[in-house]
Amino acid sequence: MLGTTDLASSRQEKSDARLNIRTKASIKAAIEKAAELSGMDLSTFTTNAAFLRAQDVIAAHERTVLAPVDHAAFFNALERPAAPTKKLLAAAKLHREIVADSE
């Protein structure tokens, strides 16, 4: 039996939300076997597996990884920003006028 941490139960909130899924019998059997081998009931195992995957997906979407060349270009642009164009200056002026008028 592999040692597994029950992340879902360690959260300090009431477990009152429901999640219902339909799946194929072979997938359910594999999940039940994995839960048994992990020493967890089916609900706890499934919740933990889904929660871990959810955290991975969220982290992947909240983090940007740049190749070295892109990293250098990004920080170079931050350190030496381009001068604003006439259109950008006009847009900033219009924005100030609209925001000042609305206050």
CA distance 86 to 48: 54
Q: Are 37 and 78 in contact (CB under 8 A)?
A: no
User: What's this model's pTM, rounded to 2 decimal places?
Assistant: 0.59
Name the domain count of the chain: 1
Q: What is the mean pLDDT of residues 8-19?
A: 82
User: Which position has the higher pLDDT, 53 or 16?
Assistant: 53
1 within domain boundaries? no
What's the DSSP call for residue 80? S
Check residue 70 and give its pLDDT.
95
CA distance 77 to 4: 45
Express each pLDDT in 56-74 by its tens digit. Answer: 999 999 998 899 999 999 9
Q: How confident is the model at residue 13 (pLDDT cuts 50, 70, 90)?
A: confident
User: Which position has the higher pLDDT, 20 or 4?
Assistant: 20
31 within domain boundaries? yes
- Tokens representing 55 are 């955290």
33 within domain boundaries? yes
Supply the range of the domain harboring residue 53.
7-102
Check residue 59 and give its pLDDT.
94
- The CATH number of whichever domain residue 22 belongs to comes to 1.20.5
98 within domain boundaries? yes
2 within domain boundaries? no
- Tokens representing 81 are 């920003």
What's the DSSP call for residue 90? H
